[in-house]
Amino acid sequence: MDGITIFGIFLSLLPLIIFIGIFVAIIVFIVSVVKRFERRADERLALEKENTNLLQSKLNGIDERLSTIEKMLKDVE
């Protein structure tokens, strides 16, 4: 095989190689976008859990104060 034949084979395979490269690049881009969305969702979930715990502790404090007030009102009666 001479250089012209190898070059001709390469030129005939070039569109296929470019197509496969573009396809792989698209797949890599999609995977990175999905991972980014997943990371953001995990961060959002962690913030929501922290917020829920904070609100629960505040609610427990309010419940304790309400119980104290109810007890004082019963003692007054």
Q: What is the pLDDT of residue 9?
A: 84
Q: Give me the chain's average pLDDT, please.
A: 93
- Whether the pLDDT of residue 10 is over 90: the answer is no
pLDDT tens digits, one per residue of 38-74: 999 999 999 999 999 999 999 999 999 999 999 999 8
Sign of CA dihedral 56, 57, 62, 67: positive
Q: Which of the 8 DSSP states describes residue 54?
A: H
Q: Considering only residues 38 and 7, tell me which one the structure prediction assigns the higher pLDDT.
A: 38
Q: What is the pLDDT of residue 1?
A: 57
Residue with tokens 């109810």: 70
